[in-house]
């Protein structure tokens, strides 16, 4: 329950900020173009708070925090007195109307740049992209990549941390191949070509690292078969397992790795297992019944125990920090990279190269908000930047009811020399609303299946 409240709170904070920035883009440009704004609302439904400013605009905070809107004077919505027609949205020149509509998504991209700028000035902790143990037979192993090598470029684009490697490789899904440049432990530079012709991102990758499917594995510090902590009221805690206990065997099967232990636990959902542990130099035998859990229709066992993990070597850790001007340049570059990757993934969703089961809805976004806030302010800013870019792109999709749909109608008007008819607008809005509802319901269904 506490986790739900935490996630919900930061979801509302994040969404409220993103919506406010988006709608402020429309509002600010509309006012500069001489359009009268009658209402600026964050949220829908019943008013929780409202205030009328000196400019005559009513500022509203509404009950349902899932969006917002800017209501402008418009003859298409309601009659406008003759003396106020020059202040109506629909009477403005085409270029001004287009600018007002585009200002919302533009504001979202600017927010992402500002968020990345702040992050890069404060400093983003990261890890050098050092490769871990490459599984035999994988695409990465066949290309010649080896453990201990540091990735320095993907398709000749420099990368400085593991996050950049992930973004660069995921953007290549559906391509035939990708080149990866690495630096070996003795300083040699090598280039390897990975065959991606059979790489797809399906539902099995939603909650896992899709790079593992091609064998690109990040270096991880050694995980010991020793208990670091147990989750309160979990099977591990209730069985008496304690911090510092060394795991020796499961059902008399000797353990050699933490991965082996978790695999055995997952395969014994709801059935008792015997743990052999070492505590204070003495052996003990503990009966545990892993809790049954379900994900994507698959049942697995859960114990609620975390291992002792060695720290990353100091020379593997980096902090990306820049002065104000360089941080602004880097922040703009990051925003563009995020935009490019998002557009690539959107296209691959449509083409089927990426499963539609990767679509996320409000529950996943809420979890992301809560988790990023838990890690700290820098990570929450990164989450805001990511969602803001996605919100900007989504609103530019040429679908009636979205900003992109309005811009499409304006483009038609520019070509034909006359506005799109009210009938076409109405039909387009109905179709757009239906498509949007279907997509949102599908994303929500994906969220519920991941619970």
Q: Are residues 135 and 267 in the same domain?
A: no
Q: Are residues 240 and 213 in the same domain?
A: no
Q: Are residues 208 and 131 in the same domain?
A: yes
User: What DSSP assignment string belongs to 322-334?
Assistant: --HHHHHHHHHHH
> Is residue 262 domain-resident?
yes
Provide the CATH number for the domain around residue 289: 2.30.42.10
Kindly tell me the burial class for residue 37, based on how many C-beta atoms sit within 10 Å of its own C-beta (0-12, 13-18, 19 or more).
buried
Kindly tell me the burial class for residue 31, based on how many C-beta atoms sit within 10 Å of its own C-beta (0-12, 13-18, 19 or more).
middle
Helix (H) or strand (E) holding 61: strand 58-72
Residue from 33, 27, 102, 25 nearest 59 by CA = 27
Residue from 379, 381, 423, 383 nearest 400 by CA = 423
Q: Are residues 116 and 196 in the same domain?
A: no
Q: Are residues 256 and 360 in the same domain?
A: no
> Is residue 435 domain-resident?
yes
- Copy the structure tokens of residue 176: 């035939």
> Is residue 1 domain-resident?
no
Alpha-carbon distance of 100 to 407, in angstroms, equals 10
Kindly tell me the burial class for residue 441, based on how many C-beta atoms sit within 10 Å of its own C-beta (0-12, 13-18, 19 or more).
exposed
> Is residue 132 domain-resident?
yes
CA distances from 253 to 148, 265, 283, 330, 358 (A): 31, 12, 15, 51, 37
* Beta carbons of 78 and 61 less than 8 angstroms apart: no
Residue from 192, 135, 193, 124 nearest 162 by CA = 124
Predicted confidence at residue 205, as pLDDT, reads 45
Low-confidence ranges of the chain (pLDDT < 70): 1-3, 201-208, 296-297, 352-367, 442-451
Q: Are residues 245 and 151 in the same domain?
A: no
Q: Torsions phi, psi of 273, nearest 5?
A: -125, 155
Strand, helix or coil for residue 100: helix
Q: Are residues 195 and 315 in the same domain?
A: yes
Predicted confidence at residue 207, as pLDDT, reads 46
- The domain boundary, picked from 260, 282, 309, lies at 309
- Known catalytic residues? 23
Q: Are residues 276 and 196 in the same domain?
A: no
Residue from 126, 119, 121 nearest 163 by CA = 126
Residue from 95, 89, 57, 96 nearest 75 by CA = 89
* Beta carbons of 147 and 132 less than 8 angstroms apart: yes
Q: Are residues 315 and 343 in the same domain?
A: no
> How many domains are contained in the chain?
3
Q: Are residues 334 and 405 in the same domain?
A: yes
Q: How far apart are the first and last CA of the chain?
A: 14
* Beta carbons of 362 and 11 less than 8 angstroms apart: yes
Tell me the Cα Rg of the chain: 27
Q: Torsions phi, psi of 78, nearest 5?
A: -155, 160
Q: Are residues 268 and 304 in the same domain?
A: yes
Alpha-helical regions (H) of 162-280: 162-170, 235-238, 258-266
Contacts of 318 (CB under 8 A, 6+ apart): 125, 126, 127, 128, 160, 161
Question: Where in the sequence is the domain holding 432, given as residue range(s)?
Answer: 111-123+324-451
Q: Are residues 203 and 228 in the same domain?
A: no
Kindly tell me the burial class for residue 433, based on how many C-beta atoms sit within 10 Å of its own C-beta (0-12, 13-18, 19 or more).
middle
């Amino acid at each position: 329950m506490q986790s739900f409240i935490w996630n919900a709170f930061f979801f509302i904070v994040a969404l409220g900020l993103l919506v406010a920035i988006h709608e402020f883009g429309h509002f600010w440009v509309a006012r500069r173009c001489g359009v009268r704004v009658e209402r600026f609302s964050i949220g829908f439904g019943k008013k929780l708070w409202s205030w009328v400013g000196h400019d005559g605009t009513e500022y509203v905070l509404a009950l349902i925090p899932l969006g917002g809107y800017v209501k402008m004077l418009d003859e298409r919505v309601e009659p406008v007195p003759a003396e106020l027609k020059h202040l109506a949205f629909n009477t403005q020149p085409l270029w001004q109307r287009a600018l007002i509509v585009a200002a919302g998504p533009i504001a979202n991209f600017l927010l992402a740049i500002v968020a990345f700028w702040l992050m890069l000035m404060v400093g983003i902790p990261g890890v050098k992209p050092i490769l871990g143990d490459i599984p035999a037979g994988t695409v990465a192993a066949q290309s010649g990549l080896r453990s201990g090598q540091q990735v320095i470029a993907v398709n000749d684009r420099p990368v400085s941390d593991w996050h950049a490697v992930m973004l660069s490789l995921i953007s290549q899904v559906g391509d035939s191949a990708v080149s990866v440049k690495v630096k070996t432990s003795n300083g040699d530079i090598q280039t390897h070509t990975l065959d991606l012709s059979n790489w797809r991102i399906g539902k099995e990758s939603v909650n896992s690292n899709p790079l593992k499917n091609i064998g690109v594995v990040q270096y991880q510090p050694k995980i010991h078969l020793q208990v670091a902590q147990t989750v309160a009221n979990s099977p591990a805690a209730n069985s008496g397992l304690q911090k510092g206990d060394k795991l020796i065997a499961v059902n008399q099967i000797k353990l050699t790795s933490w991965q082996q232990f978790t695999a055995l636990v997952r395969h014994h959902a709801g059935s008792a297992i015997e743990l052999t542990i070492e505590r204070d130099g003495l052996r003990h035998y503990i009966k545990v019944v892993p809790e049954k859990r379900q994900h994507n229709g698959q049942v697995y066992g859960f114990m609620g125990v975390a291992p002792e993990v060695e720290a990353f070597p100091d020379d593997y850790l980096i902090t990306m920090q820049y002065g104000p001007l360089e941080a602004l340049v880097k922040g703009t570059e990051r925003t563009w990279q995020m935009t490019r990757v998002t557009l690539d993934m959107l296209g691959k969703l449509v083409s089927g190269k990426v499963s539609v089961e990767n679509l996320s809805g409000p529950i996943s976004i809420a979890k992301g908000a809560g988790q990023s806030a838990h890690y700290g302010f820098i990570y929450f800013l990164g989450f805001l930047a990511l969602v803001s870019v996605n919100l900007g792109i989504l609103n530019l999709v040429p679908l009636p009811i979205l900003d992109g749909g309005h811009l499409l109608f304006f483009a038609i008007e520019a070509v034909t020399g006359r506005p799109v008819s009210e009938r076409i607008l109405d039909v387009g809005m109905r179709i757009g609303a239906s498509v949007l509802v279907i997509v949102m319901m599908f994303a929500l269904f994906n969220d519920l299946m991941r619970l």
